[in-house]
Amino acid sequence: MVRLARCLVGRYFQVVDKGFRSGPGRFRLLLAVSALGVSSVVTQVTLTRELLNLYQGTELVLGIAVSAWLLLTGAGAWLGRRGPASGAGLPLALVAVALLPFVHIIVLRYTRFLLAPRGAVTDPRTLYLVLPLLTGPYCLISGYLLPAACTLLAKSGDAREIGKVYFADTVGDIAGGLLFSTVLVHLASNLGALYVPAALNLGAAFLLLCRQSRRWLMGVPALAALCVCVLWFSGIDHRSARRLFPHQTVAAQVESPYGRIAVTREDEQYTFYENGVPLAATTDAAEAEETVHFALCQVPRRPLAVLVVSGGLGGNLEEVLKYPVTRVDYVELDPAVIGIGRRFSNRFDDSRVTVHTGDGRRFVEEATTTYDAVIVDLPPPATMQVNRFYSAEFFAAVRAVLRPDGVVSYSLPGAENYLNRDLAGLYGTVASAARAAFSHVVGFPAGKAVFVAGDRPISRAIGDSLRLRDVRTRYVNDYFLSATLTPDRLQQFDRAVAFAGRPNSDLFPVAFRMQLRYWLGKFDHRIGWILAALAVASVILLLVGGPVETAIWSTGFVSMGAEICVLFLYQVLYGSVYLRYSLVVALFMAGLAAGSWWSNRRLLVSEAPAVEGSRILVRVDGGIAAFLLLSVVAVGWTSLWRSAAVLYGAVAAVAWLTGAQFPAAGVMRRGSGGETAGVLYAADLFGGAIGSFLVTMFLVPAVGVANTLVALAAIKGTAVVRLLWRRPG
Amino acid sequence: MMEQGRSNMQNRRTVLRGCATALGLGCAAPSSAGMLERLFGAKDEKEVIPNDAPEALWKWSTEALHYRRVEGNVQCQLCPNECTLPPRARSRCKVRVNIGNKLYSLVYGNPASVHVDPIEKKPLYHFLPATPVFSMGFAGCNFGCLNCQNWEISQRKPEELNNYSLFPDEAVAAALKSKSISVAYTYNEPTVVYEFMLETARKARSAGLRNVWVTNGSMKREPLEEFCKYLDAANVDLKSFSDETYHTLNFGALQPVLDTLLLLKDKGVWFEITTLIVPTYTDDPAMIRAMCKWIRANLGPDYPLHFSRFHPEYRLEHLPPTPPSRLEAARKVAIEEGLHYVYIGNYRTDQGSNTCCPQCGAVVVERIGFTITRMALNMGNCARCGRRIAGRWTV
């Protein structure tokens, strides 16, 4: 059998190779490359979203996933630097590229609770090892393909054709980005989105093979197409998604652009999940009572206007409606949460409640009415996006929509018996941010830690206050609070709240860092040594690597870092970056194309391309450094950044400078075209991998956005010095 | 043109990473190593830590009372883990080290958490009701429960925490000053602070205070017998009735806990049992029935059993809170099996928190939350029918 299989595979390669060289048609080839482009973008986006759905959607998971992806794709490029022995691999690779993403997602779902006990969070150290293993095959193949194809085409035909091939690839990339952002994300689940690129890739494989003399070869993509059809009709998407809730009954599951919302039913209880984490249960009154009553019993007894930011599934609105309210505005980012909430509860049905879907931060900033209380019930600041609801800027915006005797409340993870340093730091930095806008900030150590801020003294005599208002509660009353709001625990909270350190802010997300440290503490995991090792490796490479390679990997590092900063800024100002992302992608591509066109043109007209390349490289690197330094100055001008044109311009500028560098680096480096392409591609991805991790996990949380940009400028400045040192003459 | 190609490769990479970054930042925000063990035979998380002893002992160190020397190592004899520590190693509970071929405890007089709680919070419903208890918790635990609600101290080394300094004399003085009736060793697993606990219990008893042990029940017989001389009451977690679940969920074992319950009964120590109903782990009615049968057969019907509601905690964040109906169902099973006093905790119910006379059914202690709202007991007897209600009701 083995000999027979070998024989068949060998024959396959032989025949395909022959057909490829004889020319299957330029148009077909261009289509195939475009299909690859679509697949690579859609697959990465989809796999990344799946990982975030499965592993709680934290920045750490994102950092690990993106870094692993870039590193492995870089490894693939490195392997492909000498090119393939023949052209036979292309159709086969297309088939693999069509099928592997399905395999990855299904394996990820089925191994979710093999990686951790049922219902438990996966140790991030496990993810370091397992995520690359589970997503590696696709990354390696897609990384391998481009330099390999580059070399192959250079051998077999007119080198000028290669530009067209890469144009086709770019078209595929753009199409993939737009297709996902505008269509697939709204209409398809993660697994469902993969059918489109799979169909394109298999179609392209057919096209490449259909002119072969041996038609039986088409059986390979046909078999693959059959597998995809079986997947489609097998209901594997639903079944594998249900595996994520072992021993529970899944009542509903929805994939929205913002995450995976699920509802499980156990007896009379419905539990609502987002990305696998329970948001609320219909039988859980305690949390909603804590969220609402500590705040609302502080405001004067009169008809109230209340703004509630999220938490509606947990019953916050029912608790608010126990007061004499005239108006309740409820804001929820994800319409799917509202939809599913309405389906399984009547929590949004009261006529006094107006439901708004959108970003809560923007809602507050644009609100024209004033409120007696703003109740924020969001997850802890485990991501940069949520951090915006715990920042000084947010509290200032809330202050502007509150009546003089109004209050705002927010919640953080609770610790009833011992307040560890990270949690105390988290309480402290957020309280410090709130104190910048309000005279009084008081914490309540209950099941979770609830904080109330306002300009009048905050009372802790909750039971008395509730009795005065004739508000009936099951848990927030003296029967329970007498054992939690004890003097020793209150003192502990007061000490943490009195913290005089740096307040959490949008562009210096201290709370995000503290929350990350607190969460990692559950695994006794110190991420510092990983970050330190990456930082040291970066410095060594920066100082001793080849100047051209250094220029390229540092561009990967810096452009990744700059992109993160720009997107971060965008998100701070506009909320979710998601729905406008297609425009960002298009601008990126336009900037890159313009940059590479400019660079190529300069090189083509130059009599000494190597010298010109060196000159371009130095100018571009210098340009990046200067751009970053300018951004440092501009980063504090929120009025400037509020102009979308400036943000988009920044995206295009980073892309232009990045795009201009590759052609110049290519002419400066010795070696064959394919090898050069492979090495530079790998270096760039390697830089991007380190940059994404260090910037997200260390630089921005530890030193803020402005200082991060300075650090990135310093890295680029060092690369310029290295180039100048080498530059002939 | 080759260069054009290279630049376009760059394009793809940039789109890829841009997409991922934006999606991660923009969309997904509002939201054990078991596989490694299986795949690579990695170490159990709760293992002896080599070369982790501090350079020098600190003032909160004391030589352990229960250990033996085995071939150049020391073996702790305090709990069923029986950690064997090579020189400079640290025990699984993270608070015991081998220095100079002697076993030392690093938690003698340095509680991380000190509070005055109502006794009902331990929970102890049949022991000096409505009295304050001076409660201390330390670093360390001989278990590694995935749902630990005090993981900030129990899964940490003492050096990593902000500790009080409270040696036995000072602890007793502080307890008296707080007007507490009892001293509770609680929050973490107090077994691991055995030397401090024993000495403080002895002094507390001399000062007229009671001693309360809130425990997972995993202590070896010899030290426990010694401790029972000063012990007045205990709340013992019977986390499940399955050794496999104990292993998966708690990094512990069932039999030592059962042995502890039997010993406490033999020694006349009042105790109550708590079982946390964790969905999909410990909510199986058949398992609960088997557990209640064992309790009835081996301990009798009078030791109270508390079924506690689970909330997502520590690492067990992906499970739902326990549906109230499962708590009620567990209570029903326990009553069917003949247990007299069965309670529901962490969830407010009308019946599940009251003590009823097993003879006439009258409510003899009515509770809401941690507060007693009415008592109908006459010297520990039902005020209506006079039947003795098991417990320690008066000081």
Confidence label for A499 from pLDDT (cuts 50, 70 and 90): confident
Of the ranges A128-142, A437-451, B224-238, which one carries the lowest mean pLDDT score?
Answer: A128-142
- Helices first, then strands: H and E counts in chain A: 30, 11
Answer yes or no: are the C-beta atoms of B21 and A59 closer than 8 Å.
no
Contact yes or no for B26 and A121 at CB 8 A:
no
| Residues of chain A contacting residue B7, judged by C-beta atoms under 8 Å apart | 166, 592, 595-596, 599-600, 659, 662-663
Residues A650-698 pLDDT 10s: 778 888 888 888 778 877 776 665 677 777 878 888 898 898 889 888 8
- State how far the Cα of A369 lies from the Cα of A401, in Å rounded to an integer: 7
> Could you say which of A66, A277, A283 has the minimum Cβ distance to residue B21?
A66
Confidence check: pLDDT of B321 > 90: yes
Cβ of A584 within 8 Å of Cβ of B18? The answer is yes
Phi-psi region of A44 (alpha: psi -120 to 50; beta: other; left: phi over 0): alpha
Percent of residues, chain A, with pLDDT higher than 90:
34
Cα angle A183, A189, A193 (rounded to 5 degrees) comes to: 55
- Inter-chain contact B23–A560, Cβ cutoff 8 Å? no
| Arithmetic mean of pLDDT, B19-28 | 42
The three-state secondary structure class of B207 is: coil
Look at residue B32 and tell me whether its pLDDT is greater than 90: no
Q: Which residues of B touch A664 (CB under 8 A)?
A: 3
Q: Nearest chain A Cα to B367, which residue?
A: A479
Contact B325 A274 (CB under 8 A): no
| Record: contact B13-A685, CB cut-off 8 A | yes
Alpha carbons A223 and A96: distance in angstroms, whole number: 12
Considering only alpha carbons, which residue of chain B is nearest residue A413?
B313
pLDDT at site A440: 96
**Which amino acid is it at A4?**
L
DSSP state of B35: H
Output the CA–CA distances (angstroms, integers) from residue A710 to A220, A563, A625, A632, A636, in the order listed. Answer: 53, 14, 9, 7, 14
CB contact under 8 A, A386 and B30: yes
ipTM of the complex: 0.89
pLDDT of residue B378: 93
SS3 category, B312? coil
pLDDT category at A61 given cuts 50, 70, 90 is confident
* pLDDT value for A726: 66
Average pLDDT of chain B to the nearest whole number: 90
CA distance linking residue B202 with residue B111, whole number of Å: 18
Q: What is the pLDDT of residue A601?
A: 82
What does the pLDDT look like over A535-576, one tens digit per residue? 888 888 888 878 888 888 898 898 888 877 877 777 777 766
- Closest Cβ–Cβ partner in A70, A165, A680 for B17: A70
Decide: A693 and A587 in contact? Cβ < 8 Å.
no
Q: Kindly report, residue by residue over B107-133, the tens digit of the pLDDT.
A: 999 999 999 999 999 999 999 999 999
**Contact A605/B at CB under 8 A:** no
Rg of chain B (C-alpha set): 24
Residue B26 has pLDDT above 60, yes or no: no
Does B285 lie at the interface with A, CB-CB under 8 angstroms?
Answer: no
Inter-chain residue contact A592 with B314, CB threshold 8 Å: no
Interface of B with A in 191-230 (CB under 8 A): none
Q: Do A571 and B25 touch (CB under 8 A)?
A: yes
> Is B28 in Cβ contact with A383 (below 8 Å)?
yes
- Check whether A364 has a pLDDT greater than 80: yes
pLDDT at A627 over 90: no
pLDDT at A479: 93
CA distances from B125 to A90, B119, B131, B354, B370 (A): 73, 8, 11, 9, 10
Q: Which residue of A has its CA nearest to B117?
A: A483
Which of A118, A177, A275 has the CB atom closest to B31's CB atom?
A275
Q: Is A486 on the interface with B (CB under 8 A)?
A: yes
Question: Beta partners for B114?
Answer: B136
| pLDDT beyond 60 at A332 | yes
Res A20 pLDDT > 80:
no
Mean pLDDT for chain A? 83
- Banded model confidence at residue A17, pLDDT cuts 50, 70, 90: very low
Q: Of the candidates B29, B145, B123, which has an alpha carbon nearest to the alpha carbon of residue B345?
A: B123
Q: In this complex, is the C-beta atom of A334 within 8 Å of any C-beta atom belonging to chain B?
A: yes
Reading phi first (left if > 0) and then psi (alpha if -120 to 50, else beta), residue B39 is in alpha
Residues of B in contact with A509 (CB under 8 A): none
| Res. A298: pLDDT tops 80 | yes
Asked if the C-beta of A428 comes within 8 angstroms of chain B's C-beta atoms, the answer is no
Are the C-beta atoms of A572 and A509 separated by less than 8 Å? no
Q: Is A114 on the interface with B (CB under 8 A)?
A: yes
Other Cβ atoms less than 10 A from the Cβ of A328: the count is 22
Query: Quick one: average pLDDT of B267-281?
Result: 97
- Nearest-Cα residue of chain A relative to residue B122: A483
DSSP 8-state code for residue B158: G
- pLDDT tens per residue, range A219-266: 888 999 999 999 989 988 888 888 888 888 999 998 888 888 999 998
Residue in chain B closest to A310 (alpha carbons) equals B30
Distance CA(B258)–CA(B217), nearest Å, equals 8
Closest Cβ–Cβ partner in A48, A52, A266 for B279: A266
Which range, of A302-311, A371-380, A591-600, B216-225, averages the lowest pLDDT? A591-600
B21, B30, B149 ranked by CB distance to A259: nearest: B30
Contact call for A126 and B33, based on CB within 8 A: yes
Interface contact B320-A488, CB threshold 8 A? no
- Among A10-14, A354-358, B331-335, the minimum mean pLDDT is found in A10-14
Do A278 and B320 form a contact (C-beta atoms < 8 A)? Answer: yes
Confidence of residue A164 (pLDDT cuts 50, 70, 90): low
Query: For residues B63 and A525, which has the higher predicted lDDT (pLDDT)?
Result: B63
- The values of phi and psi at residue A271, to 5°, are -115, 130
**Cα A285–Cα A289–Cα A295 angle in degrees, nearest 5:** 165
Max CA distance (Å), chain A: 89
Contacts 24+ apart (CB under 8 A), B240-243: B240/B275, B240/B281, B240/B282, B240/B287, B240/B291, B241/B287, B241/B288, B241/B290, B241/B291, B241/B294, B242/B287
Nearest CA in chain B to A573: B26
CB contact under 8 Å between A247 and B34, yes or no, is no
Question: What is the per-residue pLDDT for B23?
Answer: 42
What is the reported pLDDT for A473?
Answer: 95
Strands B67-70 and B73-76: antiparallel
Tell me how far apart the alpha carbons of residues A686 and B17 are, in angstroms, rounded to a whole number. Answer: 12
The mean-pLDDT minimum among A416-420, A468-472, B39-43 falls in: B39-43
Contacts of A593 in chain B (CB under 8 A): 11
Q: Which of A203-207, A558-562, A703-707, B208-212 has the highest mean pLDDT?
A: B208-212
Task: Tell me what pLDDT residue A481 has.
Answer: 93
Distance from CA of A582 to the nearest CA of B (A): 9
Give the pLDDT score at A644: 66
Distances (CA, A) of A204 to A24, A95, B355: 11, 9, 74
CA A423 to chain centre: 25
Q: What's the pLDDT at A7?
A: 44
CB A663 within 8 A of CB A596: yes
**Chain A, window 542-561: residues with a beta carbon less than 8 angstroms from a chain B beta carbon:** 556, 559-560
Using one digit for the tens of pLDDT, what is the confidence trace for B293-317?
A: 999 999 999 999 999 999 999 999 9
Residues 6+ apart with CB under 8 A from A30: A164, A165, A168
B314 touching A, CB under 8 A? yes
Task: Please say if the pLDDT value at position A439 is more than 50.
Answer: yes
Q: Report A:278-297 residues touching B (Cβ under 8 A).
A: 278, 281, 283-284
